[in-house]
Amino acid sequence: MAEARRTLVAAGIPDVEAALDADVLARHVLGFDRAAVLTRMREPELDGFAPRFTALVKRRARREPVAYITGEREFWGVPFEVTPGVLIPRPETELIVEEAIAAFAAAPPDPIIDVGTGSGCLAVALAREFAHAHVIATDISEAALEVARRNAARHGVGGRIHFLRADLLEGIAARADLIVSNPPYVASRDADTLPPDVREYEPHVALFAGEEGLETYRRLLPSARARLKPGGRLVVEVGYDQHARVEALAAGSGWRLIHSRKDLQDITRTLSFTIDEP
């Protein structure tokens, strides 16, 4: 493990992250959870462990994300399949689920629309939290929708989620109580500043949204008004320096900001809007 950590640090991965990555990769090869590793760490090394582990460490040293190597990432407390065809779920996206739960504590939303579902993490998490809700989940990528369908089936909510290949809200006639989206929002001009783990491996269609990173909001905000029920909510994730600009775009499209949430770094990440009725 120490040698694996040194290999990853030499590849440019910070020391703490390198140690965590080595641990995750070792457990993946062994098929152990963390508790099993702690209780069995003094046992002799299993046959075949070293070459398999070394191969995975080499992949990580080339900056391939751990989630793509293991094929899995946890979101909202449950595991999700991930492939290079979908964006890897991030902890900050869980703020959308938190906001939805808080906003609809009195009366659960139905239906819900998840725009740009990717792995399906938001659609599945919301279907699990709102046990009777129906969800429409869109994505422009059929490869992403295939992953999302498998995740929905895995967590027992496939029967309540309709997956639709569409550009944003294209082709949807239903009106929803809740629309959520973690859209592409990275500015194309910032591509070179991204870590190679992101820039070279994650799908660009799920990352980039024009020179300023705002193009998807410019299209989503006007179209979402026609798909929301009176009193409903639109909850979106934004980039680290975008909340004021997205709020201004929303106001220009007839939205009113109700609430925002910050991540653990005190960065505003989630904006919750309702239609600003005259």
Q: What is the pLDDT of residues 115-139, one digit of tens each?
A: 999 999 999 999 999 999 999 999 9
Q: What is the pLDDT of residues 159-174, one digit of tens each?
A: 999 999 999 999 999 9
Do residues 88 and 202 lie in contact, with contact meaning Cβ atoms separated by under 8 Å? yes
Mean predicted lDDT score pLDDT of the chain: 93
Predicted confidence band of residue 86 (pLDDT cuts 50, 70, 90): very high
Is the pLDDT at 41 greater than 80? The verdict is: no
Helix (H, G, I), strand (E, B) or coil at 114: strand
H or E segment and range at residue 172: none
Region 41-57: what's the mean pLDDT?
A: 77
- Second-level CATH architecture of 73-275: 3-Layer(aba) Sandwich (3.40)
Domain ranges of the chain: 2-62, 73-275
Counting residues of the chain whose pLDDT is more than 90, the rounded percentage is: 88
Q: Is the pLDDT of residue 147 over 60?
A: yes
Do 191 and 200 contact (CB within 8 A), yes or no?
Answer: no
Q: Which residues does residue 75 pair with via DSSP β-bridges, in sequence order?
A: 78
Instruction: State whether residue 254 is helix, strand or coil.
Output: coil
Q: Note the pLDDT of residue 67.
A: 97
